[in-house]
Amino acid sequence: MTTMKERMLAGELYIADDLEIAADLDRAARLTERFNTSSADEPEGRLAALRELLGTVGEGAWVRPPFYCDYGWQTHLGPRTFVNFNAVFLDVARITIGADVQLGPNVQLLTATHPVEPEPRRAKWEAAKPITIGDNVWLGGGVIVLAGVTIGENTVVGAGAVVTRDLPANVVAVGNPARPVRTLG
């Protein structure tokens, strides 16, 4: 028999009230609070909290507090990536962010999904799909990326866009839902 955490990691329906999952949520809440309340005068302490919280923090990557996530260890930041204020990463599934990525303020990466049918939703079942962001991507302020999306390298997503489907490399995408409007040469 698989545990709820194993089901979660496999992308299957699971119930988040599970004790093992709740312990991971509590760990992330403590580390997130430590990161968000750390002093700007002590960048090494802030970076240490971030490295303890997240799965991977590439060389030169930086996150500006406040930052919010579910688990932390499901998030992987590539080198020289910058995450601006008020980022929300619902990292129920893996979030992989490449090198040299720039995320504007209030960006949300949402891997969680819920059943559309009322009864399973009422029973608290949920699932998740990973998000992958390629190298040198720029997400403008307030961009929302939904579960299961991959954004190709060098792509720019305009402020306020909602990314519901994969975006190819080397495009500018805008709108809700986000759609490519220009190819980058």
pLDDT tens digits along 57-83 = 999 999 999 999 999 999 999 999 999
Q: What is the pTM of this model?
A: 0.96
Question: How high is the pLDDT of residue 40?
Answer: 87
Q: Domains in the chain: how many in total?
A: 1
**Is the Cβ–Cβ distance between 85 and 66 less than 8 Å?**
yes
d(CA 126, CA 133) in angstroms, rounded, equals 23
State the residue range of the domain holding 127.
Answer: 4-183
Residues with active-site annotation: 114
pLDDT digits (tens, 9 = 90+) for 119-131: 999 999 999 999 9
Residue 172, pLDDT above cutoff 90: yes
**Is the Cβ–Cβ distance between 159 and 104 less than 8 Å?**
yes
Token match 């009422």: residue?
A: 122
Question: How high is the pLDDT of residue 138?
Answer: 98
Q: How many CB atoms lie within 10 A of CB 171?
A: 19
pLDDT band at 185 (very low <50, low <70, confident <90, very high): confident
Task: Retrieve residue 169's tokens.
Answer: 């490399």
**Is the Cβ–Cβ distance between 144 and 112 less than 8 Å?**
no
d(CA 83, CA 97) in angstroms, rounded, equals 10
Residue 1, pLDDT above cutoff 80: no
Question: Which has more pLDDT, 152 or 41?
Answer: 152
Question: How high is the pLDDT of residue 4?
Answer: 93
Q: What is the mean pLDDT of residues 84-113?
A: 98
Question: How high is the pLDDT of residue 16?
Answer: 86
**Which CATH number characterizes residue 170's domain?**
2.160.10.10
